[in-house]
Amino acid sequence: MEPTIRAGQTVLVNRMSYWFGSPQKNDIIALYDPRDGKILIKRITKKNGTRYFVEGDNKSASTDSKVFGWIGKSAIIGKAIL
């Protein structure tokens, strides 16, 4: 997520952010990587109903929806608070 979030920077995640609402375009979120379960920090760039396309701000070196595809709300841990 560089330059928005630098490597090694601590990020606070609000796990209750989406209990009563839906993630929105441009939200920065923590999510589980659908391939291996690792936690990632990404930005929602597209929304299609209940599916989300996420991308990292560092376009040249980001593992995101271009690699693993659209994600569902169940993959989202919460909204990142900087």
Contact status, residue 56 vs residue 42, Cβ threshold 8 Å: yes
Q: CA angle 47-10-79, nearest 5°? A: 25
pLDDT at 2: 77
pLDDT in tens, 11-50: 999 999 999 899 999 999 999 999 998 999 999 999 999 9
The beta-strand segments (E) located in the chain are 12-14, 28-32, 39-48, 51-55, 71-72, 76-81
Judge if pTM exceeds 0.85: yes
Residue linked to tokens 């997520």: 1
Residue 82 has pLDDT above 80, yes or no: no
pLDDT at 60: 84
